[in-house]
Amino acid sequence: MLLRMPFALYRERLPRPADVLLLIEVSQTARSYLRGAKARTYAEAGVPEFWVVDLVQEEVAAFREPQADGFGYQEVLNRNARIAPAAFPDASIGVADFLEPTAPTR
């Protein structure tokens, strides 16, 4: 989770959806659940951005623009792509950085 500052606030209470800038979950098995029901739950709660790192498909699904019935924007990025949180568009990271390295090809 990437949270809004001040971080001292979270000593007093747990973060709430309004405190979240980005929520990331990593999955090997729950792909349809994370991209379906769980994504809708986060959108309904007002989490502005949710990423699912899919270790099996080697991709990141990005969800933005929360609405009452789910996220209005969804994008799937492959291992070779880069992604940046909407809150920090100049701070991109390679999708491959979330994944295990591939074996060198010959």
Is 47 within 8 Å of 2 (Cβ atoms)?
Answer: no
Domain regions of the chain by residue span = 2-10+21-90
- In this prediction, residue 105 carries a pLDDT of 57
Q: pLDDT of 23-37, one tens digit each?
A: 999 998 888 888 899
Alpha-carbon span 65 to 78, nearest angstrom: 21
Q: pLDDT of 43-89, one tens digit each?
A: 999 999 999 999 999 999 999 999 999 999 999 999 999 999 999 99
* DSSP secondary structure code for residue 1 in this structure: -
- In this prediction, residue 62 carries a pLDDT of 97
- In this prediction, residue 103 carries a pLDDT of 57
Phi, then psi, of 62 in degrees rounded to 5? -110, 135
- In this prediction, residue 77 carries a pLDDT of 97
